[in-house]
Every structure is written in structure tokens, then in C-alpha cells.
Amino acid sequence: MDRKFRKRASSVNSTNPTMKLLEKRRLMFEVHEAYENQLFLFKQQEGEFTAKENEIRLKDTEIQTELLKFCKELQINETKKKKAISLYQSERTEKDKKIKEIAKLQHDLSLDQQIFENVERKGTIIQIYKNS
């Protein structure tokens, strides 16, 4: 029985222009309401995405700032390292010069001691010769 009623209602709806117009208007409002809902959801998502984008941009700026600070520190440390290496090398060179100078002076001292011992021996021999 329900099917017969539907057939009559649909045949009445399809034949009556006012009913067709009302049905189209109802469909139009449903579509418009769905559009408004989608628009609201889109605006809401857009707001969330914009907030997230701003948050990411801020974080990116912070990271870039930190990266620049880190890069500066690396450059400063590299400069300090080069300066320390240069200082080490100059001190090493100076130390090597001093070691060579000490070795030369010790050699000269040993030569002078030998000369002194020779002179002393000769002096002792001369003293013995004079006393005899």
C-alpha cells in the first residue's frame, strides 16, 4: 500500500508545477546549507592552518637565529684555534732554537773546560818545573 501512495505522490509531484518548484527550492536550500557548512569548515581549517603556518614561521625564524649564532661561534672558535696553533708553532720554534742554543753552549762549555784543564795542567807542570 505504501508503494502505491508513493507512486501517486510522485506522480502528483511530477505533474504539479508548484510542487516541482517547492521541491527544487527545498533542494536548493539543502545544497546551500551544505555549502554554508562546508564554507564554515573551510574557514575554520584555514584559520587553523594559518595559525600553524605562523607558528612554523616563528619557529623557523628562531632556528635561523640560533643557526646564525652557532655559525658565528664556530667562526670565532675556528679563529681561536688557528691563533692557538700559530702560537703553538711559534713557541715550538722558539723552544727548538733555545734547545739548539743550549746544546751549543754546553758544547762550548765542555770545550772551554777542556782548554781550562789543559791550561791548568800546563800551569801545574810549570809550577813543578819552577819549584824544582
Per residue in 107-130, pLDDT tens?
999 999 999 999 999 989 998 888
Encoded amino acid at 35, one letter = Y
Residues 6+ apart with CB under 8 A from 23: 13
The domains of the chain are located at: 2-131
Residues 6+ apart with CB under 8 A from 13: 19, 20, 23
Rounded Cα–Cα distance for residues 65 and 77 (Å) = 18
Q: In the predicted model, what is the mean pLDDT of the chain?
A: 90
Rounded Cα–Cα distance for residues 120 and 115 (Å) = 8
Residues 6+ apart with CB under 8 A from 99: none
Instruction: Encode pLDDT of 70-113 as tens digits.
Output: 999 999 999 999 999 999 999 999 999 999 999 999 999 999 99
Instruction: Encode pLDDT of 15-55 as tens digits.
Output: 688 898 999 999 999 999 999 999 999 999 999 999 999 99
Rounded Cα–Cα distance for residues 105 and 109 (Å) = 6
